[in-house]
Amino acid sequence: MPLQTQLAVSIASILTGTADFTTPTAQISKPYAFKFDSGVGADQADKLIHKQRIIAPSASDDLDLAGVLTDAFGVAVTLVKVKAVIIFAAIANANTVIIGNHPTAAFVGWFGAAAHTVTLGPGDIFVCSRRGVAGLAVTAGTADMLRLTNGAGGTNVTADVFVLGTAS
């Protein structure tokens, strides 16, 4: 099945100051967007996993990128390369969502080392991409677990997760 994906991030901002006879402003509007065509080369992807995860208080949820998660049609997806990850921590969350640090088979991705993490507060978003042909390697059994952890007790957290990649 062909897959077409557009990834876009933009910033629009106006800074207003004060001066003797005027109100100076500095305005910026900058979009960053690119397209992934269907395939396994540079600027291509052929698999998409998208899930909404609800994580119990102080618990972890391990997303196995090599064969356990399913696509929108219920077909198991085994990623070999990751091209983009987007994780959105729900605004209604009372706790943080911590990404990374699986103890035995961490997908290192952009983190630099298996024990590194990124913490998202309520309403925060994590977006990273690797558009080149190599992507970021997923190794079944040893480097394929993307861990999400609820940063505290008391309440569940919700995270929307999108992983774009290739099967070869």
Phi, psi of 105 (to 5 degrees): -145, 45
pLDDT of residue 1: 81
pLDDT of residue 161: 98
Q: Which pair of tokens denotes residue 111? A: 């983190």
Task: Delimit the domains of the chain by residue range.
Answer: 39-166
Q: How far apart, in whole angstroms, are the C-alpha atoms of residue 82 and residue 124? A: 21
**CB distance 93 to 53 below 8 Å:** no
pLDDT of residue 79: 97
Q: Report residues of the chain scoring pLDDT below 50.
A: none
Domain 39-166 has CATH 2.60.120.10: yes
Cα 94-99-101 angle, rounded to 5 deg: 125
pLDDT of residue 67: 83
84-125: pLDDT as tens digits: 999 999 999 999 999 999 999 999 999 999 999 999 999 999
Global confidence as pTM: 0.93
